[in-house]
Amino acid sequence: MVPKPSHHLDNTADNCHYPYSCRSVQSTVAGRSSNYSAVNKSELTAMVRRAVERMRSSLGSGHNIAFALLSAQETGNYTLRPDEASILSPHASQTKKERFARGRTAAHLALQQLGIEKSPPILRGQEGEPLWPIGVAGSITHCGLWTIVVVAKGPKHFSLGVDLESYCKINHIDISGLVCCDKELDWVTAGNDFRKRLASIFSAKEAAYKALYPVCNRYIDFKEVELSPLSPEKGFRGQFCTSISDQLTPGYSFQIQCRWLKDLIFSYVVHAAE
């Protein structure tokens, strides 16, 4: 049994996938400078590799998973296909064009690692989600200089979501009122690391919503899911506060894993269909 065709939200154009209430978050968080992180590629690659191994364990035997990581200095050998290039607005900025091309380059590199040498164009769905080849689940994330793509295939129905953020991006803004439920806000403001905690909530919800969008195929608001922190810097337990679909009902819970590297947080979710 192969996974259902996967439709995971793509933050190629905007670092936040929400089409409605998150416009102000998109313009403030996604628009920050790309030169804030002191992380080098080898460090980030090692961290993502450890996370991917955890994802592999979650998927179980018979599944194959791969990732690709590119920096802004890397163009790769991939040329956008006409169908992919047509996704971009003719008025898109050069930065958006380069980021989009980097995302598609990384996506095809990751698919090659799954044994898909001649992968089809990676197009977009109604909400901006990348449309993966049948039998493949995947997720794309961008943060400053970095682009990461994780893809997987196997005998089970599943979806996945990943997100990379830097708490430096929210150095001068406070998105807590848009992102956090009351209990989350209590946790974010309880310590002396407000920016780090807020970034972790934001990143964890982004990863969760990318993974869960294929289950409901509809917009999920930040506050429709409440997160509870697990052990320090290990991630969160997510719980739905409202009914989203037949499966995603109030009380439905799942886990989001997180890994920190200097100012960066990488969040990831593997969701098995029930």
pLDDT of residue 3: 37
Residue 140 lies in a domain: yes
Number of domains in the chain: 1
Residue 4 lies in a domain: no
The DSSP line for the chain is -PPPPPB--B-SS-SS--SSTTHHHHHHHTTS-S------HHHHHHHHHHHHHHHHHHH-TT-EEEEEEEETT---S----HHHHTTS-TT--HHHHHHHHHHHHHHHHHHHHTT-TTPPP-EE-TTS-EEPPTT-EEEEEEETTEEEEEEEE-SS-EEEEEEEEEGGGGSS---HHHH--HHHHHHHTTSS-HHHHHHHHHHHHHHHHHHHHHHH-S---GGGEEEEE-STTTEEEEEESS--SSSS-TT-EEEEEEEEETTEEEEEEEEE--
Strand partners, 166: 264
Which residue from 13, 9, 35 is spatially nearest to 26, judged by alpha carbons? 13
Residue 265 lies in a domain: yes
Residue 96 lies in a domain: yes
Report phi then psi at 167, rounded to 5. -70, -15
Residue 35 lies in a domain: yes
pLDDT of residue 37: 66
pLDDT tens, 161-201?
999 999 988 766 779 999 999 999 999 999 899 999 999 99
Residue 192 lies in a domain: yes
CATH number, domain containing residue 166: 3.90.470.20
Digitized pLDDT (tens) for each residue of the chain, 274 residues in all: 333 333 334 444 433 444 333 434 544 454 444 455 689 999 999 999 999 999 999 998 899 999 999 999 886 667 889 999 999 999 999 999 999 999 999 999 999 999 999 999 999 998 889 999 999 999 999 999 999 999 999 988 899 999 999 998 876 677 999 999 999 999 999 989 999 999 999 999 999 999 999 989 888 999 999 999 997 678 999 999 999 888 899 999 999 999 999 999 999 999 987 6
Residue 103 lies in a domain: yes
Whole-number Å distance between alpha carbons of 8 and 211:
7
Residue 264 lies in a domain: yes
pLDDT tens, 97-120?
999 999 999 999 999 999 999 999
Strand partners, 10: 140
Distances (CA, A) of 234 to 117, 132, 191, 231, 269: 35, 29, 17, 6, 12
| CB neighbours of residue 134 within 10 Å | 12
Q: Which domain holds residue 170?
A: 23-272
